[in-house]
A and B are shown apart, each in its own frame.
Chain A
């Protein structure tokens, strides 16, 4: 007896067909898999014409929504900061973000986020995967999903880059069941990826010669048997060579001095500029982390200091992306693992708070100059437009033209791209 499902039978049928199709393909020993479902064919064409990109600013530790996107001045919970008008009449944000306020006409504030998870690790996992963490399954981070769904298959540049405040580099373990090539390439403090410089012992002509020799050896073998795997292996060396040739993509010092000045001569400013450079050079996904907003003590002083950096770097970044005509093809997201408590504690700090906080989006299908959702007068509850991590994850993907209700077909398994139990937020997609 075939199972019958009351819910979306057509979808199950479709998924089943894809599944059987991929089973047939698996017989060829290939690793094709991949995304088969764009929102519509036109979107797929559009994507080929204009590559979509995503940049995520991760406000590590938990940015206070009250000192940024959803200020409540003059209330018991509002704290000492005032709110200021922005370039969009009627929308006010915290006075700590004066330059970002001037870019408000590009942004959408999502003020009704409720994720109900106050743990740093779990919250970050949810915001970046769109699902709750369970021991039985691991899910790929948004960067890996974006790289798999959006990056051209033959691209020499990594599709998933994470600029971290410090650290060495290497690869993140964040692609879960997607191929490890979609795991983040980490640019520790903005430095280029590992092993992209020839060792002194191997001069360029020698490298060229040994690669020629390798190609000749391969050619002879491949007359015997050629498969998707042999092609993938042989081409990985060509990709490496191309990446080395394009190493300057990661070199932020190639940017004009006046831009370095504009973005602010500290790490975060430099990282924003590097993100701009990477996106311009065709990288699909960039994550920039700004650390650290976990202000259990002295919340206001910390935010004053941290947000001054953010205000400069981020406002210039948004303005430049818009100026370059890239806003229609670049989704910008500012998120945290959660927000901070309306209640101000004994140490003038705010603690972890996931019930009512804010995320910011811009670009692609995101409305321009919009505030969606609202919290009550003292910011303790969402009263309108409540969304969670799952809704947002769907929305990001839909915004860049990926059908978030589709599946990845991985080694004979169909795995839903986003949590099938929830969907995108229509109001955040135009």
Chain B
């Protein structure tokens, strides 16, 4: 299989991108977490990293950033401050195609590199805890030296983990232990987090409730390395504090949830128990514990921990540091948070995680070389912006999804088997543990008895020694007295009559006898004590034999336990790999599915958009029809109104004609009545001529009238006819208008309907767009996690402060001052100036002096911007307090004031607004301004020309407090 993978890999390098993706997937299918490296041609690490990342991102990737952004990014990461204007201009002008590589090399050899790394590792190791037992300067210098020399990281870690603060070990290294008060639980938590990437704190009282792979036994196994340690204050005149270790025993623990006691010796996170030398209680110490004495055990657990952790074989250690270094440069870890590495929070690329751990260890933990490889990856150089047109990758993703799905099923099945295997082995191991428990208890008992007998022996020995030294002292006295007796006797011989002398001689002799008697008693006592010591010695030997007996009984069990333990460790590692891979594949698959769905989603959006277009045109048509109809209604109404007028006129005409006709009829009636009355009168006055005349006249009139009556009658008939006609016309007009209105209602209904359809289609598109946005956001998270796009990374408080001091020219001013001071007090001779070593040394001295002057300001700045001491320091937070400091703090406003040749001063002196804008942007944001930005600056500067210095400060302030400055992008 390996050969197949190699061939595919070779093919991969020669093919175009989409095909490359397919092949990458094919390779991923073949590999589990193994990596194939063609043995004949070692590919540089950075290329292998990119290959592995390409595989998991389905080919989607943000573009590579431009030169200016690259230089800002890599400068901030490697030396902690942005590039200077000169560096930036030179870099932009450089035509060398390998200039990025050259820049990385230049920065890795920059004098600020070690300084920056000292700060980075200080924060990583100490998490801004206060300095108590090792001064900040000692500690900083220790780290500074390590990074100046590019000491292998494992050597540094080893020194820290085995540190006790005493010669010949470096004193500063003990800060990790002592400034955590040597507290065993705190050290368990922080060593777990900082050196192994596992925060076991929640597994102290029971197996971790949330994390499957953090066991209580892991916690106590690690705790056992530190449980016999404490802080020891040496008596005056030394007075310093040291890490002191006693010989450690087994720890007993019990879950607060599941009853049953367990014991453990020192054990490293899932590995088999360490083998400790089988020492008897009387041979545990090089220096035994006593008052005011720092004990030294023969077997130091922390020394063992340091050795086995850092010798390159511990995968968790290797991967943790590789992940932390990666996170520093890449903006987030493959495992994130970096101290929560477990089965359900797997590395975003398990194969890459493994590769990085192995390669970093294989390089001899060479930090600089590792930075170099990371900085040269494509992944490091990607933009913070979204990859262009992600939906175009959808078809490829669809084709990958099925494969991934199958692969996931396989891995899940394998994980289940591994899980079951682990459970089986673990329960077997527990059974053996149970069997062994009474023997272990017996062994503990025998050891305790032996310890007691050793204590007794020690006590007896002490007493014997005391008696013996009394004998020695008394013997000396006795000798002196004997001399005195001899001398006085001699003198007494010479002066025999001197009674006083005789008495003295007598006295001396008596006293000597008395002392001799005392010596006799003491010697007898010593002899007795010697016997007691011998007995105690015998007891020690007996208890040793008792231990031996139990050990003999325990030996086969121990062997079995060891085997089971190793088996558990091995199966647990297999399970971890399978579970990790499975968890990661699930995430990838979810992302791939999301990506695959982008295309259909886009197609649906497009289709619905087409529907929208159609619906829009039908709405337009319907609206036009409504409008036409409304116009028709208006016209119809006008015509109808004309008819109405005509009807009215005709009605009036009819009325007039009727009136005329009525008048005629009235006249005729009146005349007829007059005739009738005249006739009646004539009847009474038959011959009255005048009456006859009148009657004639009236008759004539009536005839005349009757003749004239037809005219109005005809007129009326005509008028009525006209009116009828008009009424008919009106009825027709009304009917027509009614029809038009009905049609309008229909057209309006149609308009409403098409409007509804349009709205529906629009909300449909909106919904799909939201879905798309959600998918893209989820994908963005996934791409950031798999480094297909660059995470936005806030500057650390230290980076932010030093960067501000640099771009505002404060740093340079301090350099100038210190330089002048040095030139005055300790000038370099012309000869010195030719000696590169001396020049470098001078530069470092200068740097140190400036650092010492500014570290106070940086410290108070950091305390405002950093999380609380002892908490994880990677959390970003922004507070009103910080903004108030930047807005109103005297110190901050001084930084932006014009001084020396800083950017504020230069722009105050600059009359060309374009040049001013360029200087401003290049200095602070490390890029050229675009036209809009130039215009903005120009306008700002001309708004209050009489306050130029103030306006320039405001501009500098505005850029310094911008989001763009606050982040590394």
Contact = CB atoms under 8 A, between A and B. Distances in A.
Contact of B964 (A5, A195, A221): A221
Nearest to A13: B209
Interface in B851-869: 864, 866-869
Interface string A180-220: 11010100000001111111011000110111011011101
Given A199-B888, A216-B936, A413-B199, A179 B340 contact: no
B74 to A, nearest CB: 19
Contacts of A158: 880
B868 A217 contact: no
Nearest to B882: A236
A6 interface: yes
B777 interface: yes
A23 B967 contact: no
Interface stretch (B181-189, B668-676, B680-688): B181-189
A134 interface: yes
Interface string B866-885: 11111110111111111111
Nearest to B888: A195
A20 B967 CA distance: 28
A253 interface: no
A210 B957 contact: yes
Contact of A225 (B385, B422, B423, B777): B385
Contacts of A346: none
Interface string B419-459: 10011001000000000000000000000000000000000
A156 interface: yes
Contacts of A322: none
A28 B781 contact: yes
Given A3-B207, A138-B871, A181-B877, A29 B784 contact: yes
B210 A16 contact: yes
Nearest to A196: B884
Contacts of A7: 256-257
B958 A210 contact: yes
B332 interface: yes
Interface in B176-213: 180-181, 183, 185-186, 188-189, 199, 201, 206-210, 212
A175 B878 contact: no
Interface string A392-407: 0000000000000000
A240 interface: yes
A183 B867 CA distance: 10
A191 to B, nearest CB: 15
B236 interface: no
Contacts of B872: 177, 411
Interface string A217-233: 11011101101011011
A317 interface: no
A232 B883 CA distance: 11
B940 A185 contact: no
B875 A136 contact: no
A218 B958 CA distance: 9
Contacts of B181: 135
B186 A135 contact: yes
Interface string A55-70: 0000000000000000
B878 A236 contact: yes
A136 B969 contact: no
B959 interface: yes
A243 B877 contact: no
Interface residues of A, number: 77
A195 B889 contact: yes
A414 interface: yes
A6 B963 CA distance: 50
A181 B867 CA distance: 9
Given A15-B209, A239-B883, A411-B875, A134 B185 contact: yes
A19 interface: yes
Nearest to A228: B876
A210 B893 CA distance: 13
Given A134-B185, A225-B385, A240-B880, A217 B958 contact: yes
B336 interface: yes
B868 A243 contact: no
Interface string A234-253: 11110111011000000000
Contacts of B180: 135
B93 interface: no
Contacts of B869: 173
B interface bracket (residues with beta carbon within 8 Å of A): 35 or more
Nearest to A212: B958
Contacts of A206: 947, 950-951, 954
Given A135-B185, A181-B880, A239-B880, A199 B950 contact: no
Contacts of B423: 1
B958 A6 contact: no
A176 B867 CA distance: 8
B384 A224 contact: yes
A179 B871 CA distance: 10
A332 to B, nearest CB: 27
Nearest to A19: B210
Contacts of B209: 3, 5, 12, 15-16
A39 interface: no
A108 B809 CA distance: 61
Contact of B962 (A6, A201, A218): A218
Contacts of B422: 1
A213 to B, nearest CB: 4
A155 to B, nearest CB: 10
A183 B188 CA distance: 27
B206 A5 contact: yes
A415 to B, nearest CB: 9
Contacts of A27: 781-782, 784-785
A168 interface: no
B877 A31 contact: yes
A287 B413 CA distance: 57
A221 B963 contact: yes
B963 A136 contact: no
A297 interface: no
A26 interface: yes
Nearest to B207: A3
A229 B780 CA distance: 15
Interface in B755-791: 777, 780-782, 784-785, 791
B933 interface: yes
B90 interface: no
Contact of A136 (B186, B207, B877): B186
A49 interface: no
A412 interface: yes
Contacts of A29: 332, 781, 784, 791-792
Given A1-B419, A196-B888, A229-B876, A175 B868 contact: yes
A2 interface: yes
Interface string A361-380: 00000000000000000000
Indicate the member of B419, B426, B792 with the most A CB atoms within 10 Å: B792
A306 interface: no
A171 interface: yes
Given A3-B209, A411-B337, A209 B888 contact: no
B929 to A, nearest CB: 10
Interface of B: 180-181, 183, 185-186, 188-189, 199, 201, 206-210, 212, 256-258, 332, 336-337, 340, 344-345, 384-385, 419, 422-423, 426, 777, 780-782, 784-785, 791-792, 794, 864, 866-872, 874-890, 893, 897, 932-933, 936, 940, 943, 947, 950-951, 954-955, 957-959, 961-964, 966-967, 969
16 contacts: A5-B209, A27-B785, A136-B186, A136-B201, A138-B871, A158-B880, A171-B881, A176-B871, A198-B888, A210-B954, A210-B957, A217-B958, A235-B878, A236-B883, A243-B880, A412-B345
By Cβ-Cβ distance, the 8 closest A-B pairs, closest first, are A240-B883, A210-B954, A213-B958, A135-B183, A195-B884, A27-B781, A236-B878, A239-B880
Given A29-B784, A195-B884, A237-B883, 9 more contacts: A19-B210, A136-B188, A138-B868, A180-B866, A195-B889, A213-B940, A218-B962, A240-B884, A243-B880
